[in-house]
Amino acid sequence: MPVTIKDLSNELSLSRSTVSKALNGRSDVSSATRERVLRAVDELGYQPSAAARNLRRQRTEKLGLVVNYPFQRVADFLAELIPGMAAVAEDAEYNLILYTSMAGNEQRIKSLCRSREVDGIIVAWPPGSSETVALSQLMADEQMPHVFLPRRFSNAGISFVAADHVQGARALTQHLISLGHRRIGFERLPEVYETDGDRHAGYAGALRDAGIAYDPSLVISAKSTDPHYHTRSFRTFLSQPAPPTAILFFTDPMAINALSLAKEQSIRIPQDLSIAGYDGILASGVTEPALTTVGQAVSDMGRLAVESLLQLIEEQPRAPIQHTLPVELIVRGSTGPNPKI
Amino acid sequence: MPVTIKDLSNELSLSRSTVSKALNGRSDVSSATRERVLRAVDELGYQPSAAARNLRRQRTEKLGLVVNYPFQRVADFLAELIPGMAAVAEDAEYNLILYTSMAGNEQRIKSLCRSREVDGIIVAWPPGSSETVALSQLMADEQMPHVFLPRRFSNAGISFVAADHVQGARALTQHLISLGHRRIGFERLPEVYETDGDRHAGYAGALRDAGIAYDPSLVISAKSTDPHYHTRSFRTFLSQPAPPTAILFFTDPMAINALSLAKEQSIRIPQDLSIAGYDGILASGVTEPALTTVGQAVSDMGRLAVESLLQLIEEQPRAPIQHTLPVELIVRGSTGPNPKI
DNA sequence: TTGAAAGCGTTACCAT
DNA sequence: ATGGTAACGCTTTCAA
């Protein structure tokens, strides 16, 4: 049987209330009493029951981390994200509870909110899924503070932490332009709404700034992340009358796929064709040649998401908290000067 | 204000006890009543308060995952481990609570046990740290079910899930022997007690089986994982009068380091020297040449650890649960025939 | 400065 | 089959 506050009060011949006050640093306790209590805590090895405390205080100091990603596919993303989150949370005396099986089941999120087993929720949900807006509404209805990540919402009113993909795609495109490229392909992925829109906007913006006309035949939409589509897109790019001299892929895996397709066809990267990815996954650094890409400060995003959530919980601001973090252009071997000039 | 059981009982003109029974599937409730209750649950959107339930039932259906690894350094290990764990836990209606800041602080583990905010603990603690035995004792004293991972304990009485490193090192050594190698170096790492002992035993065992004399000059102990030491060990290996024709490194990073040292010195791998790692980290598959190594079924280990912990919690067996999983030899390009024959 | 008592939302025991 | 009541362990209000 664990030691309870009652044991303490018996031992000390004090009331439970006084002991509780001493424990919680109230001012209406004599310092002599406080000393005695603290000493007894040490001796008896008292630790408050989390359940009792949670019930009474109506909060748990736990944050839910709802992950709706296939872990393996984004291993390094999560491995960077989670420790940052946990560190910030634990500094604030909170802990993270993991929920990995809530995809496509609003009901479970609703139950989670109503059970009040967490004080707030961080939703790591792929940017593609449209139901996230409904999800946010649901949590708002349950008065459950929540932050989305890593996606931006055009809807106002939703708190999120995301990366500035407009800037990222712009920087990447400018980099290619500065290497002399004029026909720059872009394989986009409309599956991931805002993110796709942002990266496309950055790409188009950089072209516009450089006075290069936007050529729709250089922009191909992938139907999904299935490699099959990318392979077809890649062929389409190269079979054009005036094929691109550089191609920007929506994500690193798509670019890495292109790298191996190029090798098969004896297309030299970057001498014959420049290739760039996006996201800066670990694997992008070890391909041959290594991939030029855009990296996100994932760890910072995690930290910021927790900080934001804690703010929502503790300060209850009326306005949502929205952070868009800068990204970093990572220039490596897969991009080089335009061979056609 | 969330809906409570009291609201339900008012709405239905039933006592709270009856409602509770209906909710918990007791047999002493008429099925008509149960129907009414369940309907009301749906209508009012009732969800039991986790805190109240935890307090009353004296359990939380939460498992603590105490991680004392630098996340980044073992990113792919954790990324494989955690989802497997979470999946098994959630199937059993448990959730994982993450604790990442408990290193070197027994007190926090003790508090965690006493607060009873988890029903059991999985300790992912590097095999090196000796204090783990004390830690286990501490949790046992607090009657907190716990499982260690991924390390074996020679002490009986401690539950763990680990990989069979004797077998792994034996398979690796046999592989080298079958390639004609007779002088096989081994850089061990005594820092990680049992694991080091096991891998060394596997190495020595394979040599013995093949009738090759154990040559102490071919076994070098690294003081730590600091690359500095490995570089020195590597030079020591090669400066011997009869240098090894193959070297087995305690972990993949050490082997990868050797790979780049070899490249610097224009030693061809595997033509001039065979190199093998251990652990099967992701990076081992993308080096040039790719590394021969031993892979662990990390995901299975995670699943098994949770299953074991749940068993300890729910069935309270008197004996500890100990699992040693088989490992898999992964033959890749870094090992080849002995050039000296 | 201290303490008595109520209450957080459940579940379990014992009557009815 | 149903309900009253106590109890889980804590914090808070109010009175002394």
CATH number, domain with residue B22: 1.10.260.40
C-alpha dist (Å) from residue A44 to A19, A37, A313, B119, B138: 14, 10, 34, 22, 15
- Run of H or E residues at A54: helix A50-57
Residue A223: is its pLDDT beyond 90?
Answer: no
Residue B339 lies in a domain: no
Q: What is the pLDDT of residue A308?
A: 98
Structure tokens at B69: 């690894």
Same domain, yes or no: A169 and A292: yes
Same domain, yes or no: B25 and B141: no
Q: What is the mean pLDDT of residues A186-195?
A: 88
The model's confidence at residue B129, banded by pLDDT at 50, 70 and 90, is low
CA distance A339 to chain B (A): 28
Residue A129: is its pLDDT beyond 70?
Answer: no
Name every chain A residue with its beta carbon within 8 A of the beta carbon of B55: 49, 51-52, 54-55
Which range is least confidently modeled, A34-38, A74-78, B106-110? A74-78
Residues 6+ apart with CB under 8 A from A305: A85, A122, A147, A149, A161
Q: What is the pLDDT of residue B226?
A: 83
Q: What is the mean pLDDT of residues B38-65?
A: 96
Name every chain A residue with its beta carbon within 8 A of the beta carbon of B45: 110, 114
Q: What is the pLDDT of residue B116?
A: 97
Same domain, yes or no: A187 and A278: yes
Residue B283: is its pLDDT beyond 90?
Answer: no
Q: What is the pLDDT of residue A104?
A: 75
B10 touches strand C (CB under 7 A): no
The model's confidence at residue B201, banded by pLDDT at 50, 70 and 90, is very high
Which range is least confidently modeled, A219-233, B86-100, B259-273? A219-233
Q: What is the pLDDT of residue B188?
A: 95
Same domain, yes or no: B261 and B184: yes
User: Which of the given ranges, A101-110, A131-140, B74-83, B241-250, has the highest pLDDT on average?
Assistant: B241-250
On strand C, nucleotides with any atom < 7 Å from a protein CB are 1-13
SS3 sequence of B63-84: EEEEECCCHHHHHHHHHHHHHH
User: What Å value separates CA B121 and C1' C4?
Assistant: 39
Q: Count A/B contacts: CB-CB distance under 8 Å.
A: 135
Q: What is the pLDDT of residue A130?
A: 66
**CA–CA dist A320, A308 (Å, integer):** 9
Instruction: Return chain A residues 27..66 having CB < 7 Å to nucleic acid strand C.
Output: 27-30, 32-33, 52, 55-56, 58
Same domain, yes or no: B66 and B122: yes
**From the list B71, B79, B115, which residue is nearest A50 (CB)?**
B115
Which range is least confidently modeled, B68-72, B102-106, B256-260? B68-72
Mutation pick from B41, B114, B141, B263 vs chain A, by most beta carbons of A within 10 Å, is B114
**pLDDT higher for B248 or B282?**
B248
Residue B126: is its pLDDT beyond 80?
Answer: no
User: What Å value separates CA A23 and C1' C5?
Assistant: 20
**CA–CA dist A120, A135 (Å, integer):** 14
Task: Show which of residues 101-130 on chain A sit within 8 Å of chain B, judged by CB atoms.
Answer: 101, 110-111, 114-117
Residue A324: is its pLDDT beyond 70?
Answer: yes
**CA–CA dist B123, B149 (Å, integer):** 6
Residue B77 lies in a domain: yes
Q: Name the closest residue on chain B to residue A118, using Cα atoms.
A: B50
Helix (H, G, I), strand (E, B) or coil at B193: helix
Q: What is the pLDDT of residue A2?
A: 87
Q: Does A97 touch chain B (CB under 8 A)?
A: yes
B104 touches strand C (CB under 7 A): no
Q: What is the pLDDT of residue B78?
A: 85
Residue B66: is its pLDDT beyond 70?
Answer: yes
Environment class of A150 (CB within 10 Å of its CB; exposed 0-12, middle 13-18, buried 19+): buried
Q: What is the pLDDT of residue A149?
A: 92
CATH number assigned to the domain comprising residue B288: 3.40.50.2300
Q: What is the mean pLDDT of residues A35-54?
A: 95
Same domain, yes or no: A220 and A284: yes
The model's confidence at residue A128, banded by pLDDT at 50, 70 and 90, is low
SS3 sequence of B107-167: HHHHHHHHHCCCCEEEEECCCCCCCHHHHHHHHHHCCCCEEEECCCCCCCCCCEEEECHHH
Q: What is the mean pLDDT of residues A221-226?
A: 86
Q: What is the mean pLDDT of residues A130-158?
A: 89
The closest of A98, A92, A7 to A45, measured between CA atoms, is A7
Same domain, yes or no: A313 and A223: no
**CA–CA dist B221, B206 (Å, integer):** 19
Taking an 8 Å cut-off on Cβ atoms, the answer to whether B111 and A79 are in contact is no
The model's confidence at residue B17, banded by pLDDT at 50, 70 and 90, is very high
Sheet containing strand B274-276, strands side by side: B219-221, B184-188, B246-249, B274-276
Q: What is the mean pLDDT of residues B276-294?
A: 91
Same domain, yes or no: B130 and B25: no
Same domain, yes or no: B291 and B302: no
Residue that is written with structure tokens 């006890």 in the block: B17
Residue A255 lies in a domain: yes
What is the secondary structure of B3-28 as a DSSP string?
--HHHHHHHHT--HHHHHHHHTT-SS
Q: What is the mean pLDDT of chain A?
A: 92
Q: What is the pLDDT of residue B120?
A: 98
Q: What is the mean pLDDT of chain B?
A: 92
Q: What is the pLDDT of residue B76?
A: 78
Residue A73: is its pLDDT beyond 90?
Answer: no
Q: Name the closest residue on chain B to residue A46, using Cα atoms.
A: B114
The model's confidence at residue A256, banded by pLDDT at 50, 70 and 90, is very high
- Run of H or E residues at B290: none
Name every chain B residue with its beta carbon within 8 A of the beta carbon of A111: 47
Domain boundary among B280, B296, B312: B296
Q: What is the mean pLDDT of residues A202-214?
A: 97
Name every chain A residue with its beta carbon within 8 A of the beta carbon of B91: 101
Residues 6+ apart with CB under 8 A from A266: none
Name every chain B residue with its beta carbon within 8 A of the beta carbon of A288: 288
Q: Does B60 touch chain A (CB under 8 A)?
A: yes
Name every chain B residue with its beta carbon within 8 A of the beta carbon of A2: 114, 116
Structure tokens at A89: 């949370």
**From the list A2, A79, A115, which residue is nearest B114 (CB)?**
A2
Q: Does B138 touch chain A (CB under 8 A)?
A: no
Percentage of chain A beyond pLDDT 70 is 98
The model's confidence at residue A49, banded by pLDDT at 50, 70 and 90, is very high
Residue A72: is its pLDDT beyond 70?
Answer: no
Environment class of B208 (CB within 10 Å of its CB; exposed 0-12, middle 13-18, buried 19+): exposed
- Give the residue nearest to nucleotide C11 (CA to C1'): B56
Residue A249: is its pLDDT beyond 70?
Answer: yes
**pLDDT higher for B96 or B2?**
B96
- Give the residue nearest to nucleotide D1 (CA to C1'): B29
The model's confidence at residue B2, banded by pLDDT at 50, 70 and 90, is confident
Name every chain A residue with its beta carbon within 8 A of the beta carbon of B50: 54, 60, 115-117
Residue B334 lies in a domain: no
Residue B335 lies in a domain: no
Residue B71: is its pLDDT beyond 90?
Answer: no
Same domain, yes or no: B190 and B287: yes
The answer to whether A275 and A262 are in contact (CB under 8 A) is: yes
Same domain, yes or no: A144 and A220: no
Residue A338 lies in a domain: no
Task: Show which of residues 257-286 on chain A sit within 8 Å of chain B, judged by CB atoms.
Answer: 282-283, 286
Q: What is the mean pLDDT of residues B130-157?
A: 89
**From the list B75, B91, B99, which residue is nearest A75 (CB)?**
B75
The model's confidence at residue B317, banded by pLDDT at 50, 70 and 90, is very high
Q: What is the mean pLDDT of residues A190-200?
A: 89
CA distance B209 to chain A (A): 39
Count up the domains in chain B and report the number. Answer: 3
The model's confidence at residue B18, banded by pLDDT at 50, 70 and 90, is very high
Percentage of chain B beyond pLDDT 70 is 98
Same domain, yes or no: B143 and B251: no
DSSP class of residue A284 equals G
Nearest DNA or RNA nucleotide to B23 (CA to C1')? C11
Residue A230 lies in a domain: yes
Taking an 8 Å cut-off on Cβ atoms, the answer to whether A97 and B62 are in contact is yes
User: Which range of residues forms the domain containing residue B149?
Assistant: 62-163+298-325
DSSP class of residue B240 equals S
The answer to whether B187 and B222 are in contact (CB under 8 A) is: yes
Q: Does A69 touch chain B (CB under 8 A)?
A: no
Q: What is the mean pLDDT of residues A298-318?
A: 95
Q: Name the closest residue on chain A to residue B70, using Cα atoms.
A: A83
Q: What is the pLDDT of residue B72?
A: 67
Q: What is the pLDDT of residue B70?
A: 74
Q: What is the pLDDT of residue A55?
A: 97
B5 touches strand C (CB under 7 A): yes
Q: Does B82 touch chain A (CB under 8 A)?
A: yes
The whole-angstrom distance between residue A175's C-alpha and the CA centroid of its chain comes to 26
What is the secondary structure of B261-273 as a DSSP string?
HHHHTT--TTTT-
